Structure 1
Amino acid sequence: MRVSHAERERAVDVLKAGFAEGRLPQPEYEERITRAYQAQTYGELQVLVGDLPQGPLAQPQFVPRPVAPMVPQTFLPASARTNGSATGALVCGILGTMVGVTAIPAVILGHKARGEIRRTGEQGDGMAIAGLVLGYGVLSFGALLVVLFGLVAVSL
């Protein structure tokens, strides 16, 4: 980021204080003053005053992030995709809580997705696990209802 005249003056003040305190010899002080007045960026000023007590030198408002080189999209690594079976397992698991019938596909898709994720490194393991938990939960609840209705029917 480019510096202003006031920021150059603050850097010169730090250099003057460093010279007055005996931290800089005369030739180095004069060279740094010259370079400070020619500085265009914060980095150039920081090199000149970085080894001196800063005192009132203002820090930049924000530190600019390094700019990534512009690379064509074809040369960038492919981002990891989410496994489709994991998405299907989660959707079937959620629907299974309402409909019940989709709990079986949720379990099947969840196991299939976890295997594919381990093999390919895709994302979506959490969705696959959620689909499995919902699917097994609905199936367990359904089995419990069948047992309870069976006991009621037998007792009648």
Structure 2
Amino acid sequence: MPGGGASFLLASHADRERAVDVLRAGFAEGRLEKGEFDRRVARVYTARTVGELALVVADLPQGPMPYPAPVAPVPQVFLPTPRPAANGKAVGAAVCGLLCLLTAGLTGIPAVVLGHTARTEIRRTGEDGDGLALTGLVLGWLSVGGWALFWLLIIMVGVLDG
């Protein structure tokens, strides 16, 4: 390859299509007349090397020119209000409460503790997640109460049989 530059590489179909896209953008922006556009497209499809393609589009921007950004910012009234983040302890309470079913109640007490702590923090900070904390509390107390009732029945049966 003489000179070893990329301009001597053979042009691919994709290279030609990219060059035609640049010509289309230039024509759409009014940089080329219809006759000039047609002549250049014909040259693109007969070009053999990347260097020949580069010469066809050298005087055009490589794609459509961006429009200037709007000067006036969007008024605050029209912007969406950011939602407060969910309290992490409330999420933990809900997860522990749901896991009570899978862990045979072992996560009931953590669900109750996290639920009460989360509701206190939510009232103080205004975070989101009160429903999650309440879910963890209810499921945790049901688990603790269920296990307390179970052990009470076991003890009563043991005492009555004993």
Normalising by structure 2, we get a TM-score of: 0.49
CA contact (8 A) 1:97 1:134 kept: no
For residues 128-147 of structure 1, what are the structure 2 equivalents within 5 Å? 128-147=133-152
Q: Which position in structure 2 is the counterpart of 1:96?
A: 100
1:15-94 matched pairs, under 5 angstroms: 70=74, 78-94=82-98
- Return the alpha-carbon distance in structure 1 between the equivalents of residues 106 and 124 of structure 2: 29
Deviations 1:123-148 (A, max 9, x none): 00011011000000000000000010
Q: Does 1:113 align with 2:118?
A: yes
1:123 equivalent in alignment to 2:132: no
Residue 78 (structure 1) shift:
4.6
Tell me how far 1:77 sits from its aligned partner.
6.3
Residue 110 of structure 1 contacts residue 129 of structure 1 at CA under 8 Å; is this kept in 2?
A: yes
Amino acid at match of 2:92: G
Residue 158 of structure 2 is aligned to residue 153 of structure 1: yes
8 Å contact from structure 1 (residues 114, 125) kept in 2: yes
Provide structure 2 residue ranges, at least 5 long, that are not aligned to the other structure: 1-72
1:155 is displaced (CA, Å) by 1.7
Q: Note the C-alpha offset of 1:152.
A: 1.0
Alpha-carbon distance, 1:154 to partner: 1.1
Give the letter for the 1:98 counterpart. L
Q: How high is the sequence identity, in percent, across the aligned residues?
A: 49
- Count of residues paired in the alignment: 86
